A and B are shown apart, each in its own frame.
Chain A
C-alpha cells in the first residue's frame, strides 16, 4: 500500500472578520458579521437580493467603509492588518497586489475602451512591470487559460459575448497571483450553459492556484458547486453557517430551509 503524506496542522486564517456592520442611515446594510477565512478556502455568501451580501463584500474588499467592525487580513507586505485602519494608499496597494474582484457585470470590472489583452495585462503594469515581452506572454497564457481565442487579443471587450467578457475579467483578476478574490455573482447575467462552463473554469482555477475566495451568490447550485463553506444572510445578518453540504442538506434556520426548498434540484 502506498504511503500518503500527512497534512500540516491548520494554518492561521487569511481573513478574520469581526462584528462588521454597515448602516445606511437607519437602514441596515449588514450587521455584526463575523467569520474566518482560511488559506485555500472558498466561502459562499448566500441569501436573497437585499439580504446584505453585496454590502458585506464591498466592505470587505475596501470599497465601502463599515460603520463598525474589523477585518484583519494576513497580507504579504504587512502581515496581519485591519483593512479599515490602513491608509487609503496602503489599502489601494493591498487591493492591487493581493486581491482580485470579479464583478457581476463585466462592464464594472473591465475598461471598455482598451483591448481585451490590455485589460488582462494592466494589473501587471500597475504593479510596475515594464517588461513588454514578459507581459505579452503572461497575457497570452492567461487568455488561453480562460479558454479565449488568442487571435482576438486586440479586440475591444464590447466585441466579445457576455461570457467571454467575464473570462477576460477573470483573467484580469488572477494574472497578478492574488491571495484572495472577491466575486459578486460572477455568473449572474449569463445563460445557463455559459454559466456552467464558467463555473467549472473558475473552480479549476481557484483550486489550481490555491486561492481563497469569497463568492456572493443567490444561486444555491452555484454555492453547492463552488463553496467549501456557506454563510446564509437575511436582513443583513448571518443566520446560519457551516460546511456547504451540511447547510444545504440539513438546513436548520427557517430562512435557509425556505431558500433550499425553493430550488428544484441542487
Chain B
C-alpha cells in the first residue's frame, strides 16, 4: 500500500454497468463494460461524450449511488483503499462523509433546514466546532455571492442558480480529497461560474482529485486537466 502523494485517489477497474427494466419486459440497457481509469491528486478528469453515453451513470457508480455489475471502484479513504463495490453501507457513508464529495445538479436536502445550517452540516459531521463551522459557512456563502438575507431561509424557494450555489457551498466548505461534479455550473451566470472555477482550481492546487461533467465549454477548458471518453467502453448491445 503506497502513501505516495501522487498515488491515485480513485482507481476504477473493469467496471461494467447495465440496467434491467423489469417493468418493460426486463429490457436491458448496457451502459459500459471493462471501464478502467484513475484520478490522481491535482487532476480534474472531465467525462466526455454525447448525451446518454453514461457520464452521469459512471459518476453515480463512483459515489456508490448506483450498484455496478462487475469491477472495482477503489477510493482512497483514511490512508487506505476502500472498494465501494464490496463496502458495507456504513463504510460507504463514512467514505462520503470524509473523503468523497458529490455536487449534483439538483439540491436535495431536508425541507425545513436553513441554508447556513445546511452549509455547516458537512463540517459538524466531521467534528468541527459549531462556531468555527459557522464562520467557514458564512465565508463560503459570501464568496459565492448568495445574498445574506437568504442565509436564514431554507433553500426550497430559491432560484435554480441560488440552490446550485448552496449545493456548491456544501461541497467546498471543507476540502474533500475527492470531488465528483455533475454539471455544478449548469444554472449559474457568468460571474458565478467564474467563482466556481476559482474554487475548483484552488482545491486542485491543494491536491484534490476531481471527476467532472461540464456542458459549458469555457468552464471545461478552465478546469480540465484531462478528458475521458466514456464511449470507448460502450458495452456490446
Contacts and interface: CB of A to CB of B under 8 A. Distances in A.
Chain A partners chain B: yes
Contact of B126 (A5, A10, A253): A5
Contacts of A258: 22-23
A4 interface: yes
Contacts of B174: 2, 4
A207 to B, nearest CB: 10
Interface string B23-38: 1000000000000000
Contact of A257 (B21, B88, B97): B21
B89 A229 contact: yes
B20 interface: yes
Nearest to A7: B94
B175 A228 contact: no
Contacts of A225: 110
Contacts, number: 65
B8 to A, nearest CB: 21
Nearest to B121: A207
Interface stretch (A66-74, A137-145, A168-176, A244-252): A244-252
A1 B177 CA distance: 12
Interface in A183-232: 196-197, 200, 203, 225, 228-229
A242 interface: yes
B127 A5 contact: yes
B206 A254 contact: no
A249 B108 CA distance: 13
B65 A250 contact: yes
B66 interface: yes
Nearest to B154: A200
Interface in B212-234: none
A245 B91 CA distance: 15
Contacts of A252: 20, 67
B75 to A, nearest CB: 15
A136 interface: no
B78 to A, nearest CB: 6
Q: Chain A, interface size: which category?
A: 20 to 34
A257 B90 contact: no
Given A41-B90, A196-B112, A257 B22 contact: yes
Given A1-B175, A4-B128, A242 B67 contact: yes
A261 interface: yes
Contact of B110 (A38, A203, A243, A254): A203
Given A5-B127, A250-B66, A243 B89 contact: yes
A254 B22 contact: yes
Contacts of A245: 65
A6 interface: yes
A243 B64 contact: yes
Contact of A242 (B20, B22, B89): B89
Interface string A79-105: 000000000000000000000000000
8 contacts: A2-B132, A5-B127, A38-B90, A200-B110, A200-B111, A242-B67, A245-B65, A250-B67
